[in-house]
Structure 1
Amino acid sequence: MAAAPLAALHRKLFDETDGNKFARLKDRLLKKHGADERQAVLAILIAYAREGQLLHWRAFLMTDIVALAEPGEYGDFFSWSLDIDGLAYWGVDGMLKSMGKEAYARLVALATAENAKLSVRAKAVKSLAVFSRQPFDAGLPQDPGHWKAEQLRLDAVLAWQADGYFDGAGYRAPATHYTLTQPLSRLEMAAAFLERKLAPRRQHEQDLAQPSNWLTIASAMDMAEIDAHWVLPEIYRRFLEWYSPLRVHVDGKRFPQGLHLYGAAELVKAQHGYSVHAVHHHQIASWPPKLVVIADAGGDPYCVHLEERSIDGDLPVYRAKHGAGGWRFELHTDDFIDFLHQIALAA
C-alpha cells in the first residue's frame, strides 16, 4: 500500500528545484517511511546523493544516510563518496559505520592526502580518533572543520598505522569533587544543583577530547597562579578549587547572549580586555581595582569585589554593559550562591 506514496515522493524529490520545498519533502519521506521502509528510503537518498540536481542537498543528505544505514551496509557507496567533493566529509563516518576497522587504511590515506580538502582530512583524523579511542584529537576543537593543517597530527596517525591500528584507552572524564554527590553546605548544594543541570548537556553533546560543561577539581598550579594575583573571597576561592568550571556555557531567557562562567585555568587571562589591556597587558586605570571578572555574557562582565562580604561570608556579584563608553557597574545579586542558582536554571 505504501509503494505508491513512496514512489510519488521519490519523483517529487528529484523534480524539486526549491531548496525549502525539498527540505519538507525529505522530512516527510523520513517521518512517514524511514522506519518501516528503511531500505527503500535509503535507496532514494543514496540515488539523490549520487545524481540529484540540488548540489548542496546532495551533501546535506549524507547525515541522514549515515544515520539510517546499519553497520555493514553500503560500504561501496560510502567508499565512492570519499572521492566526491561535498560528500566526503560525512562519508568518513559512513565508512566507519559500514566497514569498521577495515576502513582504517582508506581513511589514513585520506587524512594524509595533501590534495584533499583540509576539513575532510581533519574529519578523517577526528573520526578515526573517536572510533579507535586514540588521542589524535586531544584538546582540539570539537568540530574538525575548525582545525588547522598543523593540528592534523599525522605523525601520530601514521605511527598508529605502523603499529597495527591498536585501540586506545580513550579519555577519562574530568576529576570532580566528592561533595557534588554528597553536598552539605550552601555552596556545596548550589554546586551540586548546577552539576545536575549541566549533566544532561554533557550527555547530549559531550566530546571528552575537549570536555565542556563540567565542574572539576582545579590544579594546584592554577590555584597558585590565582593566589599570586589576588586574595579572593573565601567562598569564591573554594568554588574555584573544588568546582572549577570547565568550558561552562549556558543560555536562556536570563542570559540570551549566553553566559560563560570562568574556571581556574582561565581566570587570570580572562581579565584581559577588562582590567588588563588585551594587547599590551598593562593594568587599565579606569577599571575599578578591586573587581575581578568571573563570567561574561556577550562581553558584559560579571564581577566579584575582593573586599566586600555579607554577614554569612557570601559576596555580591556586579554586572556592567560593555560598549557604553565607560564601565557602570550595578549590583546583579548580593549572593554569589544565588548567582550559581541563576546559572543552573539557565542550563
Structure 2
Amino acid sequence: MLKLEMMHSEDDTEILDAFVQYLELGKLSNARWYIASFLSRQSTPSSRKATLESIFLNGLGDETIRYWSIIGIARVAGNLACEPLSRLALDESIELESRANAINQLALLSNQPFNRGLDRDPGNWKEAQLRTDELRRWIDHGFPLGDGLAPPPRDSSLDQPTTPLESAVSDLDRQLARIRFADPVNETNPANYLTLAGDSDIARIKRRWNLPGNYLEFLTRFSPFNLTCTLRLPRVESDLWLCGAGNLMDEQVGFAIDRETGDNLEDWPQNLVVIGQAFGDPFALDLSRAKGSEAPILTAEHGCGVWEFIEYAPSFLSFLKKIRVRD
C-alpha cells in the first residue's frame, strides 16, 4: 500500500512528479486509483498545473482513474473543464457513476442546478436522474454561469427566537449552518435547512393525526429539508434521520404500515407516530400520553420480534434539545 503524504509547497514537486509518472506508466490499478484520488484533492503547485491538467484530461478516457480525473480536471482547469466533462456526461458508453460525477462537477463549476434534489453522492444517482436535456441546452448556450438555486424559505424566528421551541430550533439551525457554509454543493443543491412546510403537506398531516402543538408547529415552521449531515443523540449508537413535513407520512411505512398492502400493522401501537429513526430503530411521539402542547418520545430496537418501547425523552422539546450535528 502506498503511503501518500500531504504536499504543501513547491519543494514537494519531486513527490508530485513521481506520482504523475506512476499514473502514466504504473501497472498496479489499485495504486493508480489511490494516486489519482490523492492528486485530485491536493493544492497544485503552479509549476505543475499544466502537467496535472494533461494527466487528468487523459484520465477521462482511463476507466481505472476516470472518477478521480473528473474531480481533478474540474479543480485544476476550472471552467475550461466544462467542454470535456460535458462530452463525457453525454457519452452513454461511459459507466453511469462517472457520467453522474461529471454532471455533479459541472453543476459546481457553472452554478447550474443540474444536481438539485439529488443524493450528495453522485454514485447513488439513477440513469433517469441525469438531466441530460438541460445539459444539452446549457451547452448550446455556450456554458453560461448560473445563479444557483435559491435556498428554501426560513422562518424569521430562527435568527431572533423568543419562545422555548424557537430557541431550541434556532440552536439546531446554527449547527446546520456550519455544515451549509462548508458545503460547496449547497449553491446548486440546497441541503440541511429547516424550512416552512407546504400547506398541502400540513393539511395531509392534520387529516391523519391530532399532533401536539409543539411538534405540529415544528413541522409547519421548521420542517427538516434534505438533511444530509450527521445528526447524533446521546446514548444512541447510530445516526438520526429526522422527518420533515413532506416525508412524515412515508416514514410510517415499515413501522405502522405494511409496505405491500398499505394496511396498519397489528404489532405497531397506533398511538405512536414515527418522527425519525436511527438505523431502523424508531423514535415516536406517544399520542396517548399527549398533554397540552407536548407528548413523550419513545424508542425501541428493531429486529427483536416484538416492539419493546422505552421513553427516550419526556417531550418533543427535550428531544429536540438533545440533537447534535456532527461536523
TM-score, normalised to structure 1's length?
0.85
Partner of 2:235: 254
Deviation at 1:127, TM superposition (A): 0.7
Is 1:328 aligned to 2:308, yes or no?
yes
What is the identity, as a one-letter code, of the residue corresponding to 1:90?
Answer: W
Deviation at 1:226, TM superposition (A): 0.9
Deviation at 1:100, TM superposition (A): 2.9
Deviation at 1:211, TM superposition (A): 3.6
Is 1:61 aligned to 2:35, yes or no?
yes
1:135 match: secondary structure: coil
Could you tell me how far apart the structure 1 residues matched to 2:19 and 2:60 are? 17
Could you tell me how far apart the structure 1 residues matched to 2:205 and 2:272 are? 14
Deviation at 1:267, TM superposition (A): 0.2
Which one is further off, 71-80 or 40-49?
A: 71-80
Match of 2:95 among 89, 100, 117: 117
- Structure 1 residues 70, 158: closer, same or farther in 2, change over 3 A? farther
Residue by residue over 1:25-59, the C-alpha shift from the partner in whole angstroms, topping out at 9 and shown as x without a partner, is x22xx2xx533524333212211222234321211
Residue by residue over 1:119-147, the C-alpha shift from the partner in whole angstroms, topping out at 9 and shown as x without a partner, is 11111111111111112112122111122
Residue by residue over 1:227-250, the C-alpha shift from the partner in whole angstroms, topping out at 9 and shown as x without a partner, is 121111111100111111124341
- Structure 1 residues 318, 185: closer, same or farther in 2, change over 3 A? same
| Root-mean-square deviation (Å) | 2.1
- Structure 1 residues 145, 345: closer, same or farther in 2, change over 3 A? closer
Deviation at 1:206, TM superposition (A): 5.9
Could you tell me how far apart the structure 2 residues matched to 1:173 and 1:295 are? 23
Structure 1 segments, 4+ long, off by >6 Å, are: none
- Structure 1 residues 70, 239: closer, same or farther in 2, change over 3 A? farther
Is 1:102 aligned to 2:77, yes or no?
no
Partner of 1:243: 222
Task: Verify the 8 A CA contact 1:133 1:168 in the aligned structure 2.
Answer: yes
Match of 1:342 among 319, 322, 327: 322
- Structure 1 residues 247, 102: closer, same or farther in 2, change over 3 A? closer
Is 1:175 aligned to 2:153, yes or no?
yes
Task: Verify the 8 A CA contact 1:247 1:260 in the aligned structure 2.
Answer: no
Partner of 2:185: 207
Alignment map for 1:1-347 (pairs within 5 Å): 19=1, 22-23=2-3, 26-27=4-5, 30=6, 34-66=8-40, 67-69=42-44, 73-74=50-51, 75-205=53-183, 207-208=185-186, 209-248=188-227, 249-251=230-232, 254-310=235-291, 313-344=293-324
Deviation at 1:307, TM superposition (A): 4.1
- Structure 1 residues 166, 70: closer, same or farther in 2, change over 3 A? farther
2:276 match: secondary structure: strand
Deviation at 1:269, TM superposition (A): 0.6
- Unmatched 5+ residue regions in structure 2? none
Q: Work out the number of aligned pairs and report it.
A: 320
Deviation at 1:303, TM superposition (A): 0.9
- Structure 1 residues 170, 116: closer, same or farther in 2, change over 3 A? same
- Structure 1 residues 106, 261: closer, same or farther in 2, change over 3 A? same
- Unmatched 5+ residue regions in structure 1? 1-18
Task: Verify the 8 A CA contact 1:42 1:69 in the aligned structure 2.
Answer: no
Task: Verify the 8 A CA contact 2:113 2:189 in the aligned structure 1.
Answer: no
Structure possessing the higher relative contact order (Cα contacts under 8 Å, 6 or more residues apart): 2
Deviation at 1:186, TM superposition (A): 0.9
